[in-house]
Amino acid sequence: MEQQVFGGESQSLRHARLVAPAMWRGLLGRCPHCGEGRLFGSWLKTVHACDHCGQVLDQHRADDFPAYLVIVIVGHIVVTAFLSVESAYELSMTAHLALWVPLTVILSVALLQPVKGAVVGMQWALYMHGFGGHEDTLDTHPEA
Ligand SMILES: [Zn+2]
């Protein structure tokens, strides 16, 4: 079985890319390479390439990972807030629904693009998928 190694520092011909700054630039909707160009052409669709440095950006494979992260983040925020309010105040079921449902929707919509940008930045920094300079192929079953 081929060993998979992630991270620029362990790639012999590649210089290490710092993960945290790349994720931060992605979080801000900027190109993870230069931090100047836009990362997104529309709400969740990345641009083909950075208009400042030319880094190709549409080779990421973020897939559903940003949505999973948003669910975890929003779940922790809303459940913590719900339990805090519930223990301090006595609200009706209607008041709870009027409070937590919109908060959940607003937080989810607000966080999805920044979280996807951070995931794309992480994939770029770690040379994952199309950012590794080679064609990204789907893994097949070993016996297929
Ligand atoms: Zn760029």
- Say how many Å lie between the CA of residue 53 and the centre of ligand 1: 4
Confidence of residue 138 (pLDDT cuts 50, 70, 90): low
- For residue 98, what are its two tokens? 């009027």
Give 120 Cα–ligand 1 centroid separation in angstroms.
Answer: 13
Please report the pLDDT score of residue 23 as a whole number: 97
Residues with CB under 5 A from ligand 1 (ion): 31, 33-34, 37, 50, 52-53, 55
Q: How far is CA 49 from CA 16, 33, 41, 54, 106, in A?
A: 21, 11, 10, 5, 29
Q: How far is the CA of 108 from the centre of ligand 1 (A)?
A: 27
Secondary structure (3-state) at 31: coil
pLDDT at 136: 65
Segment 14-71, tens digit of pLDDT: 788 999 999 999 999 999 999 999 999 999 999 999 999 999 999 889 999 999 999 9
The domain segmentation of the chain, as residue ranges, is: 16-132
Please give the pLDDT value at position 59: 86
For the entire predicted model, the pTM comes to 0.82
**pLDDT tens profile 60-115:** 899 999 999 999 999 999 999 999 999 999 999 999 999 999 999 999 999 999 99
